[in-house]
Chains A and B, each alone.
Chain A
Amino acid sequence: DAGVIQSPRHEVTEMGQEVTLRCKPISGHNSLFWYRQTMMRGLELLIYFNNNVPIDDSGMPEDRFSAKMPNASFSTLKIQPSEPRDSAVYFCASRSGLDEQYFGPGTRLTVT
């Protein structure tokens, strides 16, 4: 298996632009997680899905952030409009049942 796939790996955008991050979980996994990592805040859970349904989005910073999982093999995290404080590394992870979470390589987002 190729593991969790995230794209793009790096994204540089200007303040106010829309940013879409993509994730393909490991096939057969039924839970998907979006995290944000910064030096100041560490690793933060933004949202997670079970069987494509959002279970807990309490970590989503504000309405500018939205996440979707239209099917078991694809999820997006969208920021509109983006701000410099959104600069971070965004990780996607997936899990099957009780198993551990498998992390993707991350997307490094820079908003100027």
Chain B
Amino acid sequence: GQQLNQSPQSMFIQEGEDVSMNCTSSSIFNTWLWYKQDPGEGPVLLIALYKAGELTSNGRLTAQFGITRKDSFLNISASIPSDVGIYFCAGQQYGNKLVFGAGTILRVKS
């Protein structure tokens, strides 16, 4: 089946650092979504992207829909402790089910 390659698998952050993660696919998607999940909770939608080349911000978060429709990235600027969690990308072809990446685990450097 379809798979999304999400990287990095995990990363440590220091407060104040910028963070980047991305997803790539061999298939074209019409929609790219980024979710954050805290332990024991459901995924929370951070950003939804609908057009190739689209760059969208939500506070300290910025995400882009790749021009080839096969990739997307998420940047977090000036990270804070509450940014820790698991971030999932998801792609969707028109009306079809979501295809998820394996997730990026964000941890705080102690």
Q: Do A and B bind each other?
A: no
